[in-house]
């Protein structure tokens, strides 16, 4: 599949993705990408965030590719259970935080946990760092295995955001390009 053949839903995490974040850069470069906007970025409410992702999936007119970062991963994973996942071609999930860890800050992020652990009904890829302050690599490895997702080891890359030096993130762009090129249109979109 080509990027132009998909509705690419950019799902940022806590406090949104700023202008230098790779998600914002990809949104600006990919003509078929759009951000899932949340009413409250700094005080996220799980039900509200999940509902917004479900609404955007429902509004899609082309196969959906989810591109989630951090708390956006949790919102996306919870939304999949409620959405018409027959519209979803794949999910690119980056830096999933450990939302079941009582040490996570701010504490209200725990309301997004625990993650559903059932296999995802479409191809998925999890990119995880070995020194992410919001989630241990082993935790990301375990959820990726449960979801049936391919795990990409990003080495020591922090939280894979602009603060950790991943504004442009060309390596991520290359991994995403390969991932989307291997996706097939869901049955409801096939010619």
CATH of the domain at 75: 3.40.50.1820
For 80, list phi and psi in degrees, rounded to 5. -60, -35
Question: Where do runs of H (alpha helix) occur along the chain?
Answer: 22-29, 46-59, 71-82, 137-147, 170-181
27: domain range? Answer: 3-189
Q: Which two tokens stand for residue 174?
A: 């290359």
Number of independent structural domains in the chain: 1
pTM over 0.95: yes
pLDDT averaged over 10-residue windows placed end to end, the chain, 191 residues: 96 96 97 97 96 97 97 97 91 96 84 95 98 96 98 97 91 97 86 59
pLDDT at 135: 94
Tally of CB atoms within 10 A around 130: 14
């Amino acid at each position: 599949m080509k990027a132009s053949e998909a509705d690419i839903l950019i799902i940022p995490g806590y406090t949104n993705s700023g202008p230098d974040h790779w998600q914002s850069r990809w949104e600006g470069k990919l003509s078929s990408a759009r951000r899932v906007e949340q009413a409250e970025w700094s005080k996220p409410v799980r039900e509200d965030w999940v509902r917004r992702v479900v609404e955007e999936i429902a509004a899609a007119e082309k196969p959906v590719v989810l591109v989630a970062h951090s708390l956006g991963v949790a919102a996306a994973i919870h939304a999949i259970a409620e959405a018409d996942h027959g519209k979803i071609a794949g999910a690119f999930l980056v830096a999933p935080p450990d939302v079941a860890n009582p040490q996570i800050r701010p504490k209200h992020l725990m309301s997004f946990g625990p993650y559903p652990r059932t296999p995802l009904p479409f191809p998925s890829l999890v990119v995880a760092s070995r020194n992410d302050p919001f989630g241990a690599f082993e935790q990301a490895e375990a959820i990726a295995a449960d979801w049936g997702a391919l795990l990409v080891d990003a080495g020591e890359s922090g939280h894979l955001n602009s603060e950790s030096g991943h504004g442009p993130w060309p390596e991520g762009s290359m991994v995403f390009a390969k991932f989307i090129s291997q996706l097939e249109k869901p049955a409801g979109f096939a010619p």
